[in-house]
Amino acid sequence: MLSSKDLKDIINMGIELTTEKDKNKLLEMILVKAMKISNCDAGTLYLYQDNSLNFKIMKTTSMNVNQGVNGEKINLPPVPLKKENVCAYAAIYQELVNIPNVYNSERFDFSGPRNYDSMTGYHTESMLVIPMMNMDSELVGVLQLINALDNNGNVITFNEDSEFMLTSLGSQAGVAVSNMMYTEEIRQQMHSFVAAFATAVDEITPYNGCHTRNVTIYAHILAKYINKKNSEGECDEYFDENRMEQLELAASLHDIGKMVVPLDIMNKKSRLDKDMDKLEQRYKLLKVYYELDMIKGKITKEEFENIIKQMDDNLEFIHQVDTYEYITEDVIKRVDEIAKVVYITDSGETIAWLTEREQECLHVQSGTLTPDERRQMREHVVVTKRILDRVHFNSHYSNVARFAASHHEFLDGSGYPNHLSGDQLELETRILAVVDVYDALTCSDRPYKEPFSKETAFGILKKMAQEGKLEERLVLWLEQAVKEQTQL
């Protein structure tokens, strides 16, 4: 007869099982409670996977056996679903099975327990097997309990009260494990979705192949360092599992909007890039026109030679300017002088020595992008937000889209797209801003620049922090975290 305490224990078991979020702890809790209810010496928890029962937790108190509690694999083959095996039988027919003495039973094949006994010196006697089912009556796993004990430590048969309570535990455990597995499936689905998008972004251009992955790695490294500072009492912030997961997902998605940026902008490795070929072809054509003018007597040979030399000098100058790290006013002045020169054909067609497009590109003081190209590139954060707003992120991932779409915002409000500043920027956004710039400076696959050394990159980051754009402590912590990571 169950007491009121037993009933309370059943209710409390359900509460505890549904509140545990760690899978390994949940499985161990189920087996420990089952062993406590029945006061037995040993137990095994199996999970149903791939049409078999897989060992997950094994405990034998008298022999100090405690396997699988931290998720480590138990080196035993899965139990096939054949009804000759007692655990498989309980799983197939969804029945509780109570065996008073396995050595006196011919109902099932107990060669396994007997072989185990002969190898270890253990003596398996009474056994209780309970299927774990979820709310849809689907098999989740099986509990196998061995050797119920009386108050004096003698092996006895599992009693009816234990059967009732363990049947209840089996149902509660089945639901709890099933819910956790379902949650894990959703989590895996979310991560696979993010990985697919991140791969798509990195695959569209050879010059972005490692950026998404690097930013995610650096964000994780910095967040872990913040946790270290928290443990040392130097920082109030802390990244628990969910906060870390959201940060990493946001890092993986931060450049998703680049999928709509034209490839000729994404892959632009110099100021003129592919326009240089068009310019060279036009110069070849112009030289032919000038040579014809000389033949026709419109210009002298000396004038022709001077024009050709001037064109060659200009072309050499343009090639140099195309890859300059920084353009000065003197350079811009000479570019404008070249752009003033035109050739007019006999039919009245005007051919410029430098087109307006080429002139604009050669005016770019640093980098490779014109103002309009830079605007299109910056638009990727707006598109990132637009894409992610169409994705349903449950409460577990509610911050991911916001973090991802704000990684180009700076503390002083000079970032984009919304010019957020100060306290409007959460720690995750500040972290992404720092690591995004760091990887952009140090990565080796950018078409328009050589990678900076770590020392130079952190010098630039510290200057940006002094200018009020980045959070200085995050820059210093990332520098230390990267240094420690390198030394491992």
Q: Which CATH number characterizes residue 175's domain?
A: 3.30.450.40
Q: Please, what is the end-to-end C-alpha distance for the chain in angstroms?
A: 61
**Is 198 contained in some domain?**
no
> Taking Cα atoms as reference points, which of 179, 182, 235, 191 lies closest to residue 400?
191
**Is 82 contained in some domain?**
yes
**Is 354 contained in some domain?**
yes
- The amino acid sitting at 334 is R
Q: Identify whether residues 43 and 172 lie together within a single domain.
A: yes
- The amino acid sitting at 243 is R
**Structure confidence at residue 488 (pLDDT):** 45
- pTM of this structure: 0.74
**Structure confidence at residue 5 (pLDDT):** 56
Q: Identify whether residues 139 and 48 lie together within a single domain.
A: yes
- The amino acid sitting at 173 is A
> Taking Cα atoms as reference points, which of 358, 351, 340 lies closest to residue 272?
358
**Is 331 contained in some domain?**
yes
Q: Identify whether residues 378 and 359 lie together within a single domain.
A: no
Q: Identify whether residues 385 and 477 lie together within a single domain.
A: yes
**Structure confidence at residue 2 (pLDDT):** 46
**Structure confidence at residue 260 (pLDDT):** 85
Residue 485's φ and ψ, nearest 5 degrees, are -65, -40
Q: What is the DSSP letter of 236?
A: S
Q: Identify whether residues 105 and 209 lie together within a single domain.
A: no
Question: Do the beta carbons of residue 44 and residue 57 sit within 8 Å?
Answer: yes
Question: Do the beta carbons of residue 326 and residue 365 sit within 8 Å?
Answer: yes
List, for residues 307-363, the tens digit of each pLDDT value: 999 999 999 999 999 999 889 999 999 999 999 999 999 899 999 999 999 999 999
**Structure confidence at residue 200 (pLDDT):** 78
Q: Identify whether residues 155 and 229 lie together within a single domain.
A: no
3-state DSSP assignment of residue 232: coil
Q: Identify whether residues 74 and 96 lie together within a single domain.
A: yes
Q: Identify whether residues 382 and 234 lie together within a single domain.
A: yes
Q: Identify whether residues 178 and 228 lie together within a single domain.
A: no
**Structure confidence at residue 189 (pLDDT):** 84
**Is 189 contained in some domain?**
no
Q: Identify whether residues 386 and 453 lie together within a single domain.
A: yes
Instruction: State the chain's maximal CA–CA distance in angstroms.
Output: 124
**Structure confidence at residue 487 (pLDDT):** 60
**Structure confidence at residue 16 (pLDDT):** 63
Angle between helices 454-466 and 427-442 (to 10 degrees): 140
Residue identified by tokens 């068009």 is 278
Q: Which portions of the chain are predicted below pLDDT 70?
A: 1-20, 205-209, 444-449, 487-488
- The amino acid sitting at 326 is Y
**Structure confidence at residue 86 (pLDDT):** 95
**Structure confidence at residue 145 (pLDDT):** 97
Question: Do the beta carbons of residue 291 and residue 396 sit within 8 Å?
Answer: no
**Structure confidence at residue 403 (pLDDT):** 95
Q: Identify whether residues 110 and 20 lie together within a single domain.
A: yes
Domain boundary among 338, 367, 396: 367
For residues 357 and 279, give the distance between their C-alpha atoms in angstroms, rounded to a whole number. Answer: 11
Q: What is the CATH number of the domain that holds 431?
A: 1.10.3210.10
**What residue numbers bound the domain in which 333 lies?**
275-367
Q: Identify whether residues 224 and 150 lie together within a single domain.
A: no
- State how many domains the chain has: 3
